[in-house]
Amino acid sequence: MMNIVYLTSFYYLVKLGSVSKAAEKLTYAQSTVSYHLKSLQNDYGLLYVKKAGNIDLTEKGQLIFEFIEEFIEKEEKLQKKINPTQDTLRIGTISSIMTFILTEKLAGFRRSNQQLKIEIVLKEESQLIDMLLNDQLDCIYIFDEKIDIASAYSVSKKEVPFDLISKGMLDIEHLDEYRMILTEKNCSYRAAFLKEWTFKEKVVVTLSLESPKEIIRSLQASNEMAFLPRYVTDQLPNAVFDRQELILDTPFYLQFIYDSKNSLAVDFFKKVIVET
């Protein structure tokens, strides 16, 4: 007879990509999860192979994973019927995406899904990814370099360029003559800019602000210059601001990452993200 506890450890190994993350999710010691996996393979043979940090399933492993995945889904549905509660969609994102992309679209989604509770978590990208993998979020919408994530998750991505923007006329050939302000402390694109352009052009950052709205207010009141993604600058009036594209060596993408088995996240993706 199959041991559901052992199978659950196997399921989260595949879903999360490592023994340590599976153990954290299940609140087991890593040695306990390793024992479960060893016992399963003693009973059923080789179930998976680790390659370059990924879990590649054998034919037997795939069959067993599909079995326990279906079992867990049915158990969750049964629990909801036995203990009905309001469905909650937990979305993680960053400040600029929330302000310039999601706020308006969420309003329409909420109107057509009034029985659904929506929780928004604003954190930096790396924290959001960890929360998704640990089942603390149902989906995340981030702006980052291309993310490699466990195969159990679906990723929709769209490359977005960057602009330098200023109230006055920009001269991209003489960036060192400008005062530079950046937004979204700790975000990935800010770190990439600092690493690349402060070295290349000796750009000096004179002020860091928390949100895109703050930086736009500062630009309106000064002749400073900012570095922002196009999904922000596209919503600013050309009559007021001058902008020029600035290319980073590494492309950045708007990325919506979700579990394709999560019906709430799939519905949100189809109704909100696909139209973005």
Structural domain harbouring 142? 88-159+253-273
What per-residue confidence (pLDDT) applies to 276?
58
Q: Report whether 135 contacts 25 (CB < 8 A).
A: yes
Residues 34, 153 within the same domain = no
Residue with tokens 């400008």: 178
Residues 41, 172, single domain; the answer is: no
110 and 139 inside one domain: yes
Domain boundary among 30, 55, 82: 82
Domain count of the fold of the chain? 3
State the alpha helices, DSSP H only, in the chain. 4-16, 19-26, 30-44, 59-82, 95-97, 103-112, 125-133, 188-200, 212-220, 230-233, 263-268
The C-alpha atoms of residue 276 and residue 262 are separated, in whole angstroms, by: 20
> Do 224 and 237 fall within a single domain?
yes
Do 51 and 177 share a domain, yes or no?
A: no
Same domain, 62 and 95: no
pLDDT of residue 253: 95
Q: Which residues of the chain have pLDDT under 70?
A: 83-86, 175-179, 181-184, 198-208, 275-276
Q: What is the pLDDT of residue 200?
A: 58
Report the C-alpha gap between 228 and 231 in whole angstroms: 8
Task: Please state whether the predicted TM-score (pTM) of the whole model is above 0.95.
Answer: no
What's the pLDDT score for residue 86?
62
Q: In what order do the strands lie in the sheet with 162-166?
A: 205-208, 180-182, 225-229, 162-166, 242-246
- Residue 182: the pLDDT is 67
Residues 266 and 236 in one domain: no
Which residues share a beta bridge with 91? Answer: 120, 139
Are 76 and 92 in the same domain?
Answer: no
Task: State the pLDDT at residue 258.
Answer: 92
CATH of the domain at 41: 1.10.10.10
Digit-coded pLDDT (tens) for 1-17: 788 999 999 999 998 88
Q: Do 129 and 266 have their domain in common?
A: yes
In terms of domains, do 225 and 171 share one? yes
Q: What CATH code is carried by the domain that includes residue 201? A: 3.40.190.10
pLDDT at residue 85, as a whole number:
61
Shared domain check, 140 and 99: yes
- Tell me, yes or no, whether 264 and 131 share the same domain: yes
- pLDDT value of residue 76: 80
pLDDT value for 181 = 67
